[in-house]
Amino acid sequence: MIGVQAGEGSGLREVVIPRPSRVGAWLHAFRIPTLAASVVPVLVGTAVAWRHGASRPLAALAALVGSVAIQIGTNLANDIYDFRKGADAPGRIGPPRVLPQGWLSGSEVRTGMIVSFAIATLAGVYLWRVAGWPVVAIGTASIAAGIGYTAGPFALAYVGLGDLAVLLFFGFVAVLGTYYVQAGTVHPEAVLAAIPVGALATAILIVNNVRDLDRDRAAGKRTLAVILGRRGARAEFLAFLIAAYAVPLGLWAQGFRSAWVLLPFATGPLAMRALHAVREREDGPALNRALLDTARLHALFGVLFAAGIVLG
């Protein structure tokens, strides 16, 4: 298939995008590299629950299934509604999307979205039996936010609320929800642990929005990066990095955890590389690499943070 993508100069260049297999198209639509964003909160929430002697493996597994299914459903919903609104037209700087490329039909993607949210609902039914009605509220709000992120006239991503939604749902809701279904309550340490998880998930979105700023503005998609401008979005990115590293440092400095909780600082070089690219570069390829680095940072930081909590 012939596509048009942004080159490193001022114009556009025509490129050949190989058509994937059916399985490959679905995996591309699921955005597999991004799914760590739904796994990390469950790891961290479970680590805190384990440290408090409240871990429940089956509840943690159900929370993981539900979290991943909601993210896949959200990704598919984003494909549908961004395509309808013109934000994912051919020529986007980022990875190609299945609908503009014709790899999947709209009805197929819509069915995939419904199935994903149905799987999340089934996981939620089990968790409701385990932990009660708050799980219903959490699951309903998460699915509604997943659809409402790009759907409707007041879609969160189109009115500057996407960053807040990611911070809330990929951070506080996911970590605290995971902790709650195992411990039956909420603990201040779980609240603190949610901060770096949500901050780095939001940082991924910020890189994406800085890269797509001009195209989003033209499509009428008022992301927070569009509202703040590149300089403001870069400052936001730095602020979220600082917040992420401040939490394990604070937990150690205040004596809540041993030095093991500082394990995430091993990701410092990766964070600095992503920060340099976001602050210094505007071209698509460089920001695509920064996006991948930030996603890796979120995943590696989360794994090390969870390990540090367990060991500390």
Is 15 a member of any domain? no
| CATH code at position 234 | 1.10.600
Is 106 a member of any domain? yes
Is 17 a member of any domain? no
SS3 of 215-261? HHHHHCCECHHHHHHHHHHHHHHHHHHHHHHHHHHHHHHCCCCCHHH
Coil, strand or helix at 86: coil
Reply yes or no on whether the pLDDT at 76 is more than 60: yes
Is 292 a member of any domain? yes
Is 14 a member of any domain? no
Number of independent structural domains in the chain = 1
Is 8 a member of any domain? no
Which of 5-19, 41-55, 285-299 has the weakest average pLDDT? 5-19
Return the ∠ at Cα 127 (arms to 126 and 132), rounded to 5°: 115
Is 16 a member of any domain? no
Q: Which residue has the higher pLDDT, 312 or 157?
A: 157
Length reported for the chain = 312
Is 93 a member of any domain? yes
Domain containing 213: what range?
A: 23-311
Looking at the chain, the whole-number percentage of residues with pLDDT higher than 90 is 75
pLDDT in tens, 114-138: 999 999 999 999 999 999 999 999 9
